[in-house]
Amino acid sequence: MTNAIEIAGLVKTFGSIRALDELDLTVRTGEVHGFLGPNGSGKSTTIRVLLGLLRSNAGSVTLLGGDPWRDATALHRRLAYVPGDVNLWPQLTGGEVIDLLGRLRGGVDPGRRDKLIQKFELDPTKRSRAYSKGNRQKVALVAALASDAELLILDEPTSGLDPLMEELFRECVQEERSRGRTVLLSSHILSEVEALCDRVSIIRNGRTVETGSLTDLRHLTETSVDATLTGPVPDLAGLDLRDLDIEGGRVRCLVPTPALGDLLARLGAAGISSLVSQPPTLEQLFLRHYGDQA
Amino acid sequence: MNGWTLLLRMALRRDRLLIPSWVAVFVVVSFGSAAATESLYGDPVSLAAAGHAVNATPALVALYGPIYDVTALGAIGMMKMNAMGAALVGLLGLLLVIRHTRADEEVGRTELAASGAVGRHAALAAALGTAALTVVAVGGLSAGALAAAGLPLGGSLTLGAAWAVCGLVFTAVGGVAAQLATSARASRGIAVAALLAAYVLRAVGDTSGPAWLTWASPVGWSQQMRAYAGDRWWPAAFALLAAVAVAAAAVLVEQRRDLGAGVLADRAGPAHGGPTGPLSLAWRLHRLALAGWASGFALLGFLLGSIASSVPQFLEGAPAAAEMIRALGGTDRLIDAFLATELDFTALVAAAFAVSLIVRLAGEEAHGRAEEVLATPTGRIRWALAHLAVALLGSAVLIVLLGTAAGLARALDTGEVSQLLSVAGASLVRIPAAWTMAAVALLLYAASSRAAVYAWAALVGVVVLGEFGPLMRLPDWMQQLSPYRHIPALPGADLEVTPLVVLLAVTAALVAASAVLYRRRDIVTG
């Protein structure tokens, strides 16, 4: 099987609200897939459909080759899930919750569990009600990472973690990928997605607006160029530049990727004394889709 | 204290349905019992006989307190509402305070409010104010209802005041309990334990003595105001002083602790182990509650069993009441009829335990804990059935425990061991009715998470049908809707198996229908 998750034309409505509006998502087996979107765009709803908690109104959803609604229990043997807002049973300790979730998934590897608990500096003897949001998230993460699941579904797993723990989380995800596990990582932390993900899907208002590898997506956007010329500034018309700023011999602008070669050729002909060029960041990519929302 | 009036208004607004409903329950029950009193005890002779009979029955005195004036209609008619009513108003006060202090603090709402321009004690002051206003309203309006129903005005005002001051004391106790534990649940446990202790102190003081124990109990102070039997107001001063002192203690404790922390730190627990599956998880979540209910049921069963022997003597003076119990019980044997009625009623309370567990499923779903379990190979049906199993088992245990304790008391009283088996056995026939109510709750939850709370309405409906259906001469088909209507009136009646089998079949059908509905619907978090 080449795709762990295949969603096409998924529609989910709550009353009159169309939470998912013909959403598409493909996650290949063995990849770390970033699932990006602003709050309320439908990331968690998509994940809940994948977990068989919500029933889709239209579209096709295939999870690990099965139907997530019909084959829920069988499929859940092969995946582990970390919710975005982790809520634990207040009277159980963190260690008990980790063991419970492990047992429900069909067993825990005690060695791996203890190593993860130590790594994440979690006190497993504390009652869950005393944990902070970050610590509750660690409990769910340790339980998921200690499992043998072939697919990890992580819904904004680092939203409560401090930067050190976030770094640790990245290491863990990279380790999982090297073991051949598939990861669906919903997030709105762009640096995290940039560092971890092979491919990303960006959704907005319940609809997929971009999908592909980061390199693919960068082609869709603009490179920033800051050049100081030795000669006079050439004619730059017809290149579709944005934010063009000419100050003496210095040219700063954003150039669409297809026009990049042309721009450099013209600047080169004029003579370049220094050139700084930056590839588009995911942030720009993101803003391209959401910036006009306001 | 800055900003506390704002928080007070917010609390009152948040509870704008809850508080009036509670007040209404107290007012309606007061009016109902006061209005019924006159017809129960027709002449002064039967009145005095009933009063003496109560005072001669230690179990009744322990449960309700002594009657201070056996010639006063109000004192006898309101016997059950005196100490018991005061304790219930106290319960209302402490629950409200904890709802607006520790419960808010536990989920972080207090933190949000505290970051605004409000003083450190504003939340506590607003909660105490909300509860104080509520219990005073309960006392005042109930006094009005009692007087309106025909009881003497002076006594009615005393009883209302006795309720209110007891409510104020336990409002303050709730305020302290909220400082002690870090969870609302544990805080409620501490405050309710204090209330029970006060009630037991009074019960011991009134029966075996020493009598000063009654004066060590806030419930005792309310009772010593002797509504309808002398109307003494000075014991209220003890209550008011205690309420102020305890409330001040709550403020002092809050002064010394961090937000979110409690005086009693959470003990560390085991690093590993814990529940092994859905059933074991459900058991772990509910076992403490079950233990609390079970101890209450055992105690209540023993008390009811002890009272039973004196029922004929008690009712000699009140032919109308005897007639009524005979009619309701459907048998001449008064003690059996009494036990059958009490077993029916307590089985309804056991059903409330089962319903509370099923309603908690909706909470597990809303808070996302259901989602965490259902994302594992545990299916939703299995998860819900695990909770249902604990609900069914728990309610059955409560019913049998009460029957056994009542039977034990009867056996000790009469010296006949057969009483133990007879009463314990009689309790068994109530189990199918309680289970039917649990299944109704499950069906509502299975249809929609939000519908689960209507299980309480169904339960109240059954109580109304059972208590008032015969009196109000409701049409038979309507009364038949209550599963409790179909239970053979054991002990004393013939054991009919058919209705029990039918109830079990209905329960099974409801559970099956629940599974069908539950399989189709969305699991909704948040």
User: B502 to each of A154, B486, B523, how far by Cα in Å?
Assistant: 48, 9, 32
Residue B210 CA to its chain's centroid (Å): 28
**Distance (Å, rounded) from C-alpha B182 to C-alpha B163?**
29
Residues of A in contact with B275 (CB under 8 A): 92, 96, 100, 103
Given a cut of 60, whether residue B80 has pLDDT beyond it is yes
Write out pLDDT tens, residues B233-269. Answer: 999 999 999 999 999 999 999 988 877 777 777 778 8
Q: Can you read off the two tokens belonging to residue B66?
A: 């002594």
Q: Is B473 on the interface with A (CB under 8 A)?
A: no
- Residue A74 to residue B284, Cβ atoms within 8 A: no
Q: How crowded is residue B122: how many other Cβ atoms within 10 Å of its Cβ?
A: 22
pLDDT grade, residue B59 (50/70/90)?
A: confident
Q: What is the pLDDT of residue A257?
A: 78
Q: Which of B111, B258, B272 to mutate to test the interface with A (most CBs of A within 10 A)?
A: B272
Question: CB distance B277–A101 less than 8 Å?
Answer: no
Give the amino acid at B217.
S
Q: Which amino acid is at B238?
A: F
B106 touches chain A (CB under 8 A): yes
Q: Provide the terminal-to-terminal Cα distance of chain A, rounded to the nearest Å.
A: 41
CB contact under 8 A, A51 and B374: yes
**First vs last Cα of chain B: how many Å apart?**
33
Whether the Cβ atoms of residue B238 and residue B221 lie closer than 8 Å to each other: yes
pLDDT at B318 over 60: no
> Hey, what are B184's tokens?
């609302």
Dist. CA A219–CA B263, nearest whole Å: 60
Instruction: Flag if A92 and B106 touch (Cβ within 8 Å).
Output: no
Could you tell me how many CB contacts below 8 A there are between chain A and chain B? 121
**What's the pLDDT band for B1 if we cut at 50, 70, 90?**
low
Closest CA to B377 of A107, A136, A238, A168: A107
Distance, in Å, from the CA atom of A252 to the CA atom of A260, rounded to the nearest integer, reads 13
What does the DSSP assignment read for B338-381?
A: HHHHHHHHHHHHHHHHHHHHHHHHHHHHHTTHHHHHHTTT--HH
The reported pLDDT for the residue numbered A248 is 85
State the Cα–Cα distance between residues A139 and A210, nearest whole angstrom: 33
* A261 min Cα distance to partner chain B (Å): 50
A94 vs chain B: nearest CA distance in angstroms?
Answer: 7
**Nearest-by-Cβ selection for B369 from A80, A87, A95:** A87
| Confidence at B514, pLDDT banded by 50, 70, 90 | very high
Written out in words, the top-level CATH class of the domain with range A219-293 is: alpha beta
Test mutation, A91, A105, A115, A137, chain B, max B CBs within 10 A: A91
- The whole-angstrom separation of Cα B387 and Cα B357 is 7
Which of A99, A110, A127 shows the shortest C-beta gap to B266?
Answer: A127
Is A129 close to B183, i.e. CB distance below 8 A? yes
A243 CA: distance to closest CA in chain B (Å): 42
- Work out the minimum CA distance from A10 to partner chain B, whole angstroms: 16
**Structural tokens at position B478:** 């309507």
- Are A127 and B276 within 8 A, CB to CB? no
* Residue A99 at interface with chain B, using a CB cutoff of 8 Å: yes
Among B270, B373, B525, the residue with its CB nearest the CB of A96 is: B270
The pLDDT value given to residue B330: 39
pLDDT of A60 = 95
Whole-angstrom distance, CA of residue B440 vs CA of residue B508: 11
Q: Cα–chain-centroid distance for residue B315?
A: 26
Residue B325 has pLDDT above 60, yes or no: no
| CB-CB neighbours of A89 under 10 Å | 22
pLDDT of residue B461: 87
Please indicate if any CB of chain A lies within 8 Å of the CB of B415. no
Q: CB B245: neighbour CB atoms within 10 A?
A: 12
B376/A105 Cβ within 8 A: yes
A87–B367 C-beta distance less than 8 A: yes
A199 has which bridge partners? A33, A213
Q: Is A190 on the interface with B (CB under 8 A)?
A: no
A107 touches chain B (CB under 8 A): no
* B378 closest CB neighbour out of A53, A104, A127: A104
Q: Which residues of B touch A142 (CB under 8 A)?
A: none
B108 touches chain A (CB under 8 A): no
Q: Indicate yes or no: CB of A51 within 8 angstroms of CB of B375.
A: yes
Cβ–Cβ under 8 Å, residues B273 and A96: yes
In 3-state terms, what secondary structure has residue A13?
Answer: strand
Share of chain B above pLDDT 70, in %: 94
Residues of chain A with pLDDT under 50: 293-294
Tokens of B507: 């329960």
Among left, alpha and beta (phi > 0; psi -120 to 50; other), residue A213 is: beta
Which residue in the set A54, A76, A126 is minimally distant from B522, CB to CB?
Answer: A54
CATH says A3-217 is which class?
A: alpha beta
Does residue A90 belong to the interface with chain B, where contact is any CB pair within 8 Å? yes
Query: What span, in angstroms and rounded, lies between the C-alpha atoms of A184 and A197?
Result: 9
Residues 241-280 of A with CB under 8 A from B: none
By Cβ distance, the residue of B182, B277, B373 closest to A130 is B182
* pLDDT-derived band at B41, boundaries 50, 70, 90: low
Q: ∠ at Cα A226 (A223, A227), nearest 5°?
A: 125
Chain B residues with CB under 8 Å of A99 CB are: 272-274
> A130: which chain B residues are within 8 Å (Cβ-Cβ)?
182, 266
Distance (Å) from the alpha carbon of B160 to chain A's nearest alpha carbon: 39
Contact A99 B272 (CB under 8 A): yes
Task: Give the DSSP letter of residue A11.
Answer: E
Pairing of strands A58-63, A3-14: antiparallel
Residue where the block lists tokens 């978090």: B525
DSSP A144-166: HHTS--SEEEEESTTTT--HHHH
Rounded mean pLDDT of B100-119?
81
For the stretch B338-352, pLDDT in tens is 888 889 989 999 999
- Say whether A100 and B285 touch across the interface (CB within 8 A): no
B183 with A90: Cβ contact below 8 A: yes
Q: Take residue B134 and report the two structure tokens written for it.
A: 């509520």
A72, A76, A93 member nearest B269 (Cβ): A93
Tell me: pLDDT of B148 over 90.
yes
Helix, strand or coil, per DSSP, at residue A138: helix
B369 at the A interface (CB within 8 A)? yes
Grouping H, G, I as helix, E, B as strand and the rest as coil, residue B164 is: helix
Least confident of A29-33, A215-219, B157-161, B519-523: A215-219
Closest approach of chain B CAs to the CA of A136, in angstroms?
12
Interface subset of A 208-227, CB within 8 angstroms of B: none
How close A138 gets to chain B, by Cα (Å)?
A: 14
CA–CA dist B280, B241 (Å, integer): 47
Check: CB of residue B456 under 8 Å from CB of residue B439: no
- Chain A residues lying within 8 Å of B290, measured CB to CB: none
**DSSP strand pairing (A32-36 vs A199-204):** parallel
A188 interfaces chain B, CB cutoff of 8 Å: no
- The answer to whether the Cβ–Cβ distance between A100 and B278 falls below 8 Å is no
Helices (H), B415-497: 418-428, 431-447, 454-468, 476-479
Q: B81 with B138: CB under 8 angstroms?
A: no
Residue ranges of A 29-68 with Cβ closer than 8 A to chain B? 48, 51-55
- Largest separation between any pair of C-alpha atoms in chain B: 71
Contact B377 A74 (CB under 8 A): yes
What pLDDT was estimated at residue B313?
65
Alpha-carbon distance of A195 to B144, in angstroms, equals: 72
Alpha-carbon distance B517 to nearest alpha carbon in chain A (angstroms): 13
Q: When comparing pLDDT for B107 and B144, which is higher? A: B144
Contact B430, B487 (CB under 8 A): yes
Domain boundaries, chain A: 3-217, 219-293
